[in-house]
């Protein structure tokens, strides 16, 4: 098993998308990339902790590659919006790839460069590609939030 961590706006929709992918063994939503230890949702929502809402994915690389997960990440949000997705705004909604190895870093950077070279977007891609620091799991009621409520999506697709 390997780990991947992505931030692409509200973590409920991001998690729901990745949970559907064959080869993804588990997901959990949480907070990453900030300065506060063990932040709560209420604290992260103040936009003062520096954390992003993110999904941490455990995946089987023999069934789904990291490159495929990157493609899903790019396809399911607008990476040109700085610190926002749809109606949600603040640094907690930033677009970011938190890599867990030098190989993931290289692959993420190459995929971002390929998108930029293809000129798919009219604005620059703002997605951060940074090392994965400590991931703090969100409160239980956030885990599989949409699934628990029988909702298919809350995600705004670009």
Could you give the residue numbers annotated as active site? 10
Q: Smallest Cα–Cα separation from 61: which of 4, 116, 9?
A: 4
């Amino acid at each position: 098993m390997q780990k991947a961590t992505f931030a692409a706006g509200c973590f409920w929709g991001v998690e729901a998308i990745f949970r559907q992918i064959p080869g993804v063994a588990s997901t959990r939503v949480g907070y990453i990339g900030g300065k506060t230890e063990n932040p709560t949702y209420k604290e992260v929502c103040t936009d003062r902790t520096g954390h992003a809402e993110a999904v941490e994915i455990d995946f089987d690389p023999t069934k789904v590659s990291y490159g495929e997960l990157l493609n899903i990440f790019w396809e399911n949000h607008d990476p040109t919006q700085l610190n926002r997705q749809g109606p949600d705004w603040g640094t907690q909604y930033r677009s970011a790839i938190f890599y867990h190895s030098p190989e993931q870093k290289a692959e993420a950077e190459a995929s971002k460069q390929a998108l930029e070279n293809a000129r798919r977007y009219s604005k620059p891609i703002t997605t951060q590609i940074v090392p994965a620091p400590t991931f703090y799991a969100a409160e239980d009621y956030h885990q599989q939030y949409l699934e628990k409520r029988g909702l298919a999506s809350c995600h705004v697709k670009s």
